[in-house]
Amino acid sequence: MHRGMHLDRERCVHAVQSKDARFDGWFFTAVLTTRIYCRPSCPVVPPKPENMTFYPSAAACQQAGFRACKRCRPDTSPGSPEWNQRADLVARAMRLIADGVVDREGVPGLAARLGYSTRQVERQLLAELGAGPLALARAQRARTARLLIETTPLPMAEIAFAAGFSSIRTFNDTVREVFALSPSDLRSRAPRSGTGTGTPGALTLRLPFRAPLEPSNLFGHLAATAVPGVEEWRDGAYRRTLRLPYGHGIVALAPRPDHIACRLTLSDLRDLTVAISRCRRMLDLDADPVAVDDRLRADPLLAPLVDKAPGRRVPRTVDEAEFAVRAVLGQQVSTAAARTHAARLVTAHGKPLDDPEGGLTHLFPSPEALAGVDPGTLAMPRTRRTTFTTLVSRLAAGTLHLGVEADWAESRARLLELPGFGPWTVDVIAMRALGDPDAFLPTDLGVRRAAAELGLPSTPAALTARAASWRPWRAYAVQYLWATDTHPINHLPA
């Protein structure tokens, strides 16, 4: 699979005729006779090849006048893996659009965050995706509206504004145009089970992913490193608090065979799209596990690890600044000690909140709150206090960017300039906060121990040379290497 796959007509036709779900989200099939667009795995009888045309995005299909299929619901397919494995302008723009920036700040705000002109951003998105930022954001609003219509009893007026529409009329017109049904008809056709529950603001959702997905290291890592008050494992689900643009939220995420069960409680429903996007990013749900595993399986020493538990994901984060702070707190200490340090910061400087369904108590402190911490109150060596205070001051001042708009190479360079930031800290932030799928940790003790046991080179330089064949998926190779250990990060909690 590769960029511009929708241009490879023969391959797309074959994927549609074989109903291959691996290609869902990579491209969309528009049927010229019915004016409907589908995901490649649509269960209906495939149209004749001469009646198929292919688009790189749902927004491009909608802009060309096609309506979403009511059977396969292409708007609910996993997102394209492209945006999580690239750091160019288009990928960064797509991550920002998914994070709701166009709805909150408009196209000029999107361009300003990327450091390009509005015209340049629009031109590149149109060239690669067949749609500009407004059309892409509109398609996302339509997806959010459908989700709220089908899973909540909210009045349509509230749904319209929660989904990001500027008026009820625009909401009604968009839903009819995209889904060929009115909002009321969409609600009447929706299944009644699994909808919102009694807790105010709570939503129960299904987050799709590309199979296979191995949940042990993904949820095990999040649970084993959970900061008390901010994260917890409860009743078979990872729960955590979320700081969001309009308010805050609490999410519970639990692995299921064919989806991730997601329960969201939001103080402001306008944050729904952002919350879903950040949870998908944290769980790496838009990854292409087949492409990753095929590359790693080509190494005979990694192949048994991949075959034993294919589909490992990289556990990431919902808050890049938070993760960077926690990476510093975890330098040269145990997982338990890092959690203790973080919990003290949360209690002293985090924003309190209520959690009727569990034991969460705070939002993790923002960089602005941490910038005011007295270094003398930090129970860590003086050099690490300097590392901590420098990091949070740069984050608070906006001179260091680690969000979805970040340029990976530039962020790495800026991190390396900070006192106390060596290759391990920078690469673990690149892996889990920036989302670089090729970040590698050759000096990590767990990686070196696994390498020695497998017969791989154990010195950092030699291991890095051997790992060249694993590119661009070295971050996933790290997950397979870590999994050879009995550490709690590799296992679902009992």
Catalytic residues: 38, 444
Phi, psi dihedral angles at 43 (to 5 degrees): -75, -10
- C-alpha 301/C-alpha 306 separation (Å) is 10
Residue 156 structure tokens: 């349509």
Contacts of residue 468, defined as CB under 8 A and 6 or more positions apart, other chains included, come to none
CA distance 273 to 148: 10
CA atoms within 13 A on the CB side of 242: 30
Torsion angle, CA of 336/256/175/79, rounded to 10 degrees? 70
**Cα first-last separation, the chain:** 37
* The one-letter amino acid at 125: L
Can you list the positions of beta strands (E) in 244-370? 248-255, 260-266, 351-352, 362-363
Say if CB 279 and CB 207 are below 8 A apart: yes
Distance CA 52, CA 70 (A): 17
Instruction: Quickly tell me which residue has 């797309």 as its tokens.
Output: 12
According to DSSP, the residues that pair with 234 across neighbouring strands are 237
User: Could you tell me if 458 and 451 are in contact, meaning their C-beta atoms sit under 8 angstroms apart?
Assistant: yes
3-class SS at 79?
Answer: coil
| Residue of 25, 22, 32, 27 whose CA lies nearest to 10 | 27
- The CA distances from residue 337 to 193, 225, 295, 370, in Å, are 43, 10, 36, 19
Q: How far apart are CA 29 and CA 164, in angstroms?
A: 27
Three-state SS string across 186-201, please? HHHHCCCCCCCCCCCC
